[in-house]
Amino acid sequence: MEMGPPVLEVNGFIARVKLRRAKHKNRLQPEDLAGLREIFGQLTVNRDVRVVILQAEGDVFSAGFDLNELAAGNVGDAADGPGGFGAMVDAIERLPQPVIARCQGGVYGGATDMVLACDFRIGVTGMAAQMPAAAIGLHYYRSGIIRYASRLGVDNAKRMFLTAERLNGEELLKIGFLTRLVAPEALDETVDGLAARLAANAPLAVQGVKLALNELAGNRWNDEVFTGRAMTSLKSWDLKEGITAVQQKRAPNFKSV
């Protein structure tokens, strides 16, 4: 298993972003954050990719930002947190394509925010997640707090942030941190099946509605932007194709991006 910075792999409509520091529990270094921002920037303008899968090698999804960097004083600021971590996670949330987090193991620290920025979060029995910021005296950055509250609700966000409690997979599913919880041997089938289903739907409609919902949840709603996206989709070839496919009882062949 090769160690190194995150990599991007694209196969047809589906892209995979892989964390590759399994030996160190996929702790993210400053150069990893820069590499991820570059990857997400490429995906934002890629008209061919319809689904993004965020995954990791090894037994732990990610232990978050490297604690040694924090100890060295790389604590960042109120907007972006240590190493510009918040800017990297915001780039995940802004991706037009739906993003699936493939959580094959534990999710800790800033990695919990990475996972919450994804649209679907598939975990496995036996995993756990923890936000230990308060236990080490770290005040979290702005967008992470907004994301936690909008995804989990204020009470569950307080539980994870203020208690620094370690939650198992069943509890993570209960509070909405996970979308689905499956046996480890069913993880790839579940993730790949969801990706295929998302990729088969009309990209303009999927991407427009995804962004609108995220903007609403993050209090960033803009009527003009919403109207522009919606009208582009309503005037698209994809809508005509979707209706025709239903009438002809066949699978649609969407192509507008």
Q: Is residue 252 included in any domain, yes or no?
A: no
Query: At CA 188, angle to CA 182 and CA 193, rounded to 5?
Result: 90
Range 150-187 burial, b when 16+ CB lie within 10 A, else e: bbbeeebbebbbeeeeebebebbbebebbbebbeeeeb
- Per-residue pLDDT at 255: 85
On whether the CB atoms of residues 215 and 207 are closer than 8 A, the answer is no
Q: Is residue 47 a part of any domain in this protein?
A: yes
- For position 90, what pLDDT does the model report? 96
Same-domain check for residues 206 and 189: no
pLDDT, residue 22, reads 95
Q: What token pair was written down for 229?
A: 């996206």
**CATH number, domain at 119?**
3.90.226.10
Please indicate, yes or no, whether residues 212 and 118 belong to a single structural domain of this protein: no
Sign of CA dihedral 176, 182, 186, 190: negative
Residues 88 and 111 in one domain: yes
pLDDT of residue 249: 96
* Predicted TM-score of the model (pTM): 0.95
Give a yes or no: residue 256 inside a domain: no
What are the pLDDT digits (tens) for 96-118? 999 999 999 999 999 999 999 99
List, for the chain, all residue ranges whose pLDDT scores fall below the cut of 50.
none
Q: Quick one: 12 and 139 in the same domain?
A: yes
Dist. CA 34–CA 60, nearest whole Å: 21
Assess whether 58 and 96 both reside in one domain.
Answer: yes
Residue with token string 């496995």? 124
Asked if 209 and 183 sit in the same domain, the reply is no
22, part of any domain = yes
Copy the structure tokens of residue 17: 């972003």
Both 164 and 226 in one domain: the answer is: no
**Structural domain includes residue 86:** yes
Sheet architecture: strand order including 4-11: 4-11, 14-20, 51-56, 99-103, 120-124, 180-182
- Quote the CA–CA distance of 138 and 145 in Å, as a whole number: 13
Q: Let me know whether 164 and 210 are in one domain.
A: no
Q: Domain boundary at 176, 197, 218, which?
A: 197
Same domain (yes/no): 62, 132: yes
Instruction: Provide the 8-state DSSP code for 222.
Output: -
Element (H, E) at 150: helix 142-152
Which of 130, 135, 20 is closest to 70 using CA atoms?
Answer: 135
pLDDT on residue 257: 64
Number of domains in the chain: 2
Q: What is the pLDDT at residue 82? A: 82
Q: Which residue type is seen at 96?
A: P
Whether 137 is in a domain gets the answer yes
Confidence (pLDDT) at 73: 81
**Last-in-domain residue among 155, 175, 197:** 197
Distance CA 53, CA 189 (A): 13
Q: Which domain holds residue 239?
A: 201-247
Question: Regarding beta strands 4-11 and 14-20, do their DSSP bridges make them parallel or antiparallel, or are they unpaired?
Answer: antiparallel
Positive/negative CA dihedral, 220, 217, 197, 107:
positive
